[in-house]
Structure 1
Amino acid sequence: MNTQIILEKYIDSIIQIMTPHGTGTGFIIGNLIITNSHVVAGLKEVVVSAKKIKRIIAPVVYDDPYFDLAFIELESLEIPKTPLLLSKETVSDGDTTIAVGHPYGLNYSATEGIVSRASRLQDDLEYIQIDAAINPGNSGGPLLNVKGDVIGVNTFIIQNANNLGFALPYFYVQEALDAFLASKKKNLIKCTSCKNLIEEKDIQNDYCSLCGVKMQTAKLRRKGYKPTGPTKLMEDILTSLDVDVNLARRSQSTWRIDHGTARIEINYYENGIIIGDAKLCGIPSENIEAVYDYLLKENSKLSYLQLSINENSIYLSYLIIDSSLTLDEGKTALQRLMEYSNKYDDILIHKYKAIKQKRDEED
């Protein structure tokens, strides 16, 4: 099968994973989502989405920093019609491979390459070295052979190298799956020292209950993610507007809210500026002067917000410095941004024939 056919066949099995620390990829095997441990970043819960799964919070039931593997569970997980399967065939140098994932948040990207070295030893573990282009966001995604079977999990790259990537082989994944399923338990962490699976409830003060080694993953899961400063204030504002910040959060300083037909992106920049942008419709090819007149007229009525045009798109925006942000002002401004975005989008599209924006719903 060629790359496009494979992607189309197995696309329902490819998952995007989002945490406050970044994004990554996962894939469905059986009734679990497989990904890298470093993708879930020591969290007990992550946000997942896919073609047939809207953004939802899901628990991490197995975290294995030794193999750099994690398993995520969805109670309502629908097994794809054409499920991915772990390979049972030996990987050889020169084999064609296909890496599937969400590099830099770009959904469902597939890159083709070859196996440069079928077994490359790194820190006592074997890895498949590949030349297929993998980038941040690809981590945790499947490495497939030409039959569409999973031969590995895309795990890391060599920085500043040209297409030098490494995937954890399928047999380690099978070993981890077998051990997890045999335990018939959840919330397991693999100790990197004694290699035993330890139930989280049995871990005291973040030390392995069997060998006594400090377990960094246990510490991270216990602490969780807690925003501070203006980031916490921003999330308090969103929560006061009945926004689920866990689903809205794209990183520690970015949030996305879908409200009606509007999509609002909120970014907190290092220089202290907070900008909430609602990208509305595109300017029409005709009657442009009337659109400009309308936007100028509406801007004279607005407080907190500003209508503008960037290239060929119309935006409704809110801008403030973090030191000036308060709960009351932020709530008022963002509530208006959410409500007015829908209103202006409808008016501009229906009255002024502006162009409705296309949107990648799974992005």
Structure 2
Amino acid sequence: MSAQILDAIDHLGVYQVYTGGGTGTGFLIDATHLVTNSHVVSPYRTVAVEMRDRTRILGTVRRVHPQRDLAVVELSRPVDGAVLPLSDIEQYRPKQPVHILGFPVGLPLSLTEGVISHPRQLLDEQYFLQTDAAINPGNSGGPMLDDEQRIIAVTTCKLNEADAVGFGIPVADVRRFVEEFRAQSVPFGVQCPACDELIAKATRYCPSCGSNLDTRDDFKEFFHTPDAHPVADFVERALAKANVDPVLARHGDLNWSFYNGSAPIKVWCCCSDHLNFSSRLAQPGKRGLNDLFRFLLSAEHAPFFFDLAGSTIRMNLVIHMSDVFTPAEHDDLVERVGRFITKADSADNLLIKTYGCLPAPETQTDFLDAPAHENA
């Protein structure tokens, strides 16, 4: 079973989900919809989903069940990953093998294995499938499979206080959630945490059971998007000005990552004082190093600069946080960010073609070799 899954892992419809709060995993239920955890997408209504070739597409959240920690995301276009079937078996036994697919701590799609520790573990007044298989941040929302490659649960959490204690939402709950979504007549809805009634707009009380929904942040946040952090507001405005979709670039809290042509670009706050833009472009070759380093150290690149991270040449732009919080500086800074993004896309080609460097591991070499990039 393990070898069969590993041989076909890149063909499975299991994808990484990115938001402004973090990352998680989702799996296809058809070519245009995937299931993930509610806490993976919360509080966002639009997310990014990364394909195997590292391109990202938009996903729109269509249904959320905060209490059961499930969500359905509609993709902006069909994808061709293999759809794993939901098991129709509801009774499982301890020590039965279980296989977990996901993106632990942001790594590529990975498989971990273990056994069912308890098929119906009661936790917080809900039943979960308990397993000893390794679960890490980023696995949330991914499928748990049996030996027949059928989904038996959706990974949801682990106990931080214990090793080898993880939980999944049983497939019976997942199947019911999916069936109810198929019958949904509104574009978006959040299920009442108390009675499961689907609610399509902000309201104080559930129209079915009367529960006070104002006391439930996990309900309210999907109808009242919080104000963006000032740093996020600046970065996403600068990215949009440079024709980069900020939703597709989100990579967690005050983190962004995207490609411009062949160049990978990351944006993050390393501390309270600096906002960093960085692109890992190339690795030095074995000859012509004097000319290479003379070029890299030239003052002509200012306000950008190059450095070496291990054996990888990076181009960087650092903005002081005081400037980010000074609106009068924003127009110049936005223009500077745009120039950085443009230059990164041509700099990797220059380093490789002129100075004999090798592409960095993250460089999109297929794009680098394209005729359009040669003329950039």
Normalising by structure 2, report the TM-score. Answer: 0.88
Query: Secondary structure at the residue paired with 1:251?
Result: coil
User: 1:356 Cα deviation (Å)?
Assistant: 0.8
Instruction: Give yes or no for contact 1:236–1:327 (8 Å, CA) kept in 2.
Output: no
- 2-side partners of 1:337 and 1:29: how far apart? 40
Query: Secondary structure at the residue paired with 1:87?
Result: coil
Aligned residues: 354
Query: Secondary structure at the residue paired with 2:257?
Result: strand
Query: Secondary structure at the residue paired with 1:250?
Result: coil
- 1:289 matched to which residue of 2? 290
- 1:18 matched to which residue of 2? 18
Instruction: Give yes or no for contact 2:263–2:363 (8 Å, CA) kept in 1.
Output: no
- 1-side partners of 2:308 and 2:53: how far apart? 34
Instruction: Give yes or no for contact 2:268–2:276 (8 Å, CA) kept in 1.
Output: yes
2:250 maps to amino acid: R
- 2-side partners of 1:360 and 1:141: how far apart? 28
- 1-side partners of 2:148 and 2:260: how far apart? 42
- 2:188 matched to which residue of 1? 187
- 1:83 matched to which residue of 2? 83
1:93 maps to amino acid: P
1:347 maps to amino acid: L
Q: Which moved more, 1:40-49 or 1:168-177?
A: 40-49
Instruction: Give yes or no for contact 2:281–2:363 (8 Å, CA) kept in 1.
Output: no
Query: Secondary structure at the residue paired with 1:351?
Result: helix
Does 2:208 correspond to 1:210? Answer: yes
Query: Secondary structure at the residue paired with 1:94?
Result: coil
Residue 83 to residue 162, structure 1, CA distance change in 2 (3 Å): same
Does 2:347 correspond to 1:344? Answer: yes
Instruction: Give yes or no for contact 2:24–2:141 (8 Å, CA) kept in 1.
Output: yes
* Residue segments in structure 2 that go unaligned for 5+ positions in a row: 365-376
User: 1:8 Cα deviation (Å)?
Assistant: 4.0
- 2-side partners of 1:52 and 1:73: how far apart? 20
User: 1:210 Cα deviation (Å)?
Assistant: 2.0
Instruction: Give yes or no for contact 2:36–2:71 (8 Å, CA) kept in 1.
Output: yes
Does 2:307 correspond to 1:308? Answer: yes
- 1:1-363 equivalences under 5 Å are 1-2=1-2, 4-9=3-8, 11-31=11-31, 32-51=33-52, 54-74=55-75, 76-78=77-79, 80=81, 82-89=82-89, 90-198=91-199, 200-201=200-201, 203-204=202-203, 206-215=204-213, 216-296=217-297, 299-325=298-324, 326-359=329-362
Q: Which moved more, 1:323-332 or 1:117-126?
A: 323-332
- 1-side partners of 2:184 and 2:76: how far apart? 18
Q: What is the CA RMSD across the aligned residues, in angstroms?
A: 2.1
Instruction: Give yes or no for contact 2:128–2:169 (8 Å, CA) kept in 1.
Output: yes
User: 1:12 Cα deviation (Å)?
Assistant: 3.0
- 1-side partners of 2:241 and 2:161: how far apart? 44
Residue 183 to residue 335, structure 1, CA distance change in 2 (3 Å): closer
User: 1:179 Cα deviation (Å)?
Assistant: 2.4
Residue 7 to residue 226, structure 1, CA distance change in 2 (3 Å): farther
Q: Which moved more, 1:115-124 or 1:45-54?
A: 45-54
Instruction: Give yes or no for contact 1:14–1:50 (8 Å, CA) kept in 2.
Output: no
Q: Which moved more, 1:328-337 or 1:92-101?
A: 328-337
User: 1:104 Cα deviation (Å)?
Assistant: 1.0
- 2-side partners of 1:213 and 1:254: how far apart? 37
Query: Secondary structure at the residue paired with 2:139?
Result: coil
Query: Secondary structure at the residue paired with 1:338?
Result: helix
Residue 103 to residue 214, structure 1, CA distance change in 2 (3 Å): farther
Instruction: Give yes or no for contact 1:276–1:319 (8 Å, CA) kept in 2.
Output: yes
Instruction: Give yes or no for contact 2:231–2:254 (8 Å, CA) kept in 1.
Output: no
- 1-side partners of 2:313 and 2:53: how far apart? 30
Instruction: Give yes or no for contact 2:94–2:119 (8 Å, CA) kept in 1.
Output: yes
Instruction: Give yes or no for contact 1:62–1:188 (8 Å, CA) kept in 2.
Output: yes
Residue 270 to residue 311, structure 1, CA distance change in 2 (3 Å): closer
User: 1:7 Cα deviation (Å)?
Assistant: 4.0
1:315 maps to amino acid: R
Percent identity among equivalent residues?
28
